Amino acid sequence: MLEYRAPLRDMRFALYELFQADALWERLPIPSEPSRELADAILEEGGRIAAEVLSPLLRSGDEEGVRWEDGNVYTPAGFREAYRTFAEGGWVGLGGNPEYGGQGIPKMLSAMVEEMVASAGGAFGLYAILTSGAALLLDAHGREEQKNRFLPPLYEGRWAGVMCLTEAHAGTDLGMLRTRAEPQSGGTYRLTGTKIFITGGEQDLTENIIHLVLARLPDAPAGTRGISLFIVPKFLVNEDGSLGERNAVHCGSIEHKMGLHGSSTCVINYDGAQGYLVGEPGRGLNYMFTMMNYERVSVGLQGLGCAERSWQGAARYARERLQGRALRGPVNPDGPADPILVHGDVRRMLLTQRAYIEGGRAFAAFVNMQLDLAKYGEGAEREQGAALVALLTPIAKAFLTDLGLEACVLGQQVLGGHGYIREWGMEQLVRDVRISQIYEGTNGIQALDLLGRKVVADQGQTALALFGKIREWAASVTDQPGAIEFVGPVVVAVDRLHSTTLWLLNHVTEDPDLINSSAVDYLQLFGNVMFGWLWARAALVALPQAESDAFYAAKLETARFFMARCLPRVQALAAMVETPSATVMAISDQAFDV
């Protein structure tokens, strides 16, 4: 079975050495007044909970899975006890509003804990992550009475929150949804309809489940403008906060999935269930995006977390497994063979994993720093943070999960035949991480959002401004000893991304299918450039200390690997983007007849 050890040293590197998070927290008006001492304590305890409480449930939870009986869902053995420990430790409300019982920890820090949970127990973590997202939505858009009633038990982990969007006939196209909400006396609504793919829609971990449901009022217009948002609790909630009778909300079945067997993915039936309107009618999808965007960043962390655990398993195996001899001569002359770590292809796979993971951790920290600036900053800093969050969220979701799957497959490959066998745990990570490219908006949808709604919609202003800042940084550090080795490739890469962005802006009007045909390659191009920039920054931090410290030496060598073996993909991706859509669209539909 795979063991897990939280990568605390690299997390601290990203927080304090790359982004000076402690100095940032000191100047921002964050209610919890976080310090480096507090952050380190949270990281240490989060790592302990992940390794000792959650990690032992990864394989058993996968093998047992959730069970559905007579409308009730039962989680695997150990989940209830682990969830109680997790909730009582305050981990569910870590980033929540302190006015209602949350701890107000900055997102840069809480995201590190999310990554640990994703590594140690991805299926388990979904219940808590969705609850945090539901609480964020209610805090942003709920009425004061709703916040007082629902937020404290959500932050405490006594209740859970879930998002209810998808219907069988309407996946991404939410404008087609049919769930109805009819006004009742007393300001409540009766909801009728069926939702599918509802993660955590029913479970036995919490005493109540708060469903956030998209539905239509009787006179609502067609399309997304007619969607409203409703709170629909599993058990009705009395004015004093106590639980009342069971609401007309029932789990009709659960899905049998490729992975994440410990999380319940439910069909939920609303049979005249009582609900409460959130905000204004017709603004439901706008409100739901608050939660969806939170979950998209969290899904990216799931990809990163699975990759980290796969890398740990593969690296341990490569040091212990004896097979063949090093081409330069035996390194284990007294043994029957050398460890497979001596072989170039094994090292290539492990270095690719490491480059993705540590680059991804730095990128996630950067995006979450922008979330903190957008929330707590002032003036131009706040506006810039919000703009960068909007631009980079689809990359955080899609690029991190694409690389997460690739890294998990590489980890499995390092183990060879043993990687295909259940007892080693590597095949489970491949199965678990695969959904991360699909839910919360497929990665193709994320790419369309990046290129169409973010870059083309504002004529590239936010993206081009970011490219300019990368160039400014490069100019400011070029004279540092050894910098040009890392800065030079990044300048070439960002210039190529810049020119490709301008090419798209100049051609999209005459070739509107360019957005659809080039979006995924453009997102990959953008993500590689961002990773290159952050790896260059990491290398410059490591350079002065690499000769005397093994951590910095490894960081520097991994940066060199990324520059030489990963960043060159930028040129190929740019060429793919700058291809007329006819290469994709010209073929006739009949060519797909089977």
The residues annotated as belonging to the active site are 440
d(CA 303, CA 527): 14
Which residue pairs from 444-448 have beta carbons closer than 8 angstroms and sit at least 24 positions apart in sequence? 444/519, 444/520, 445/172, 446/296, 446/394, 446/395, 446/397, 446/398, 446/523, 447/394, 447/398, 447/519, 447/520, 447/522, 447/523, 448/515, 448/516, 448/519
The closest of 354, 342, 319 to 555, measured between CA atoms, is: 354
SS (H, E, C) 287-353: HHHHHHHHHHHHHHHHHHHHHHHHHHHHHHHHHHCECCCCCCCCCCCCCCCCEHHHCHHHHHHHHHH
State the virtual CA torsion across 487, 492, 556, 332 in degrees, nearest 10: -150
C-alpha 503 chain-centroid distance: 30
d(CA 311, CA 357): 9
Encoded tokens for 18: 């790359």
The closest of 312, 346, 314 to 327, measured between CA atoms, is: 346
CA angle 7, 8, 14 (to 5 degrees): 95
The closest of 209, 258, 212 to 427, measured between CA atoms, is: 258
Give phi and psi for 194, each to the nearest 5. -130, 135
The closest of 147, 124, 135, 145 to 55, measured between CA atoms, is: 124
**Terminal-residue alpha carbon distance, the chain:** 43
d(CA 172, CA 160): 24
Q: What are the helix (H) ranges across 443-549? A: 443-448, 461-477, 484-507, 514-542
d(CA 331, CA 341): 10
Give phi and psi for 170, each to the nearest 5. -140, 100
Cβ(401)–Cβ(573) under 8 Å? Answer: no
C-alpha radius of gyration, the chain, whole number: 24
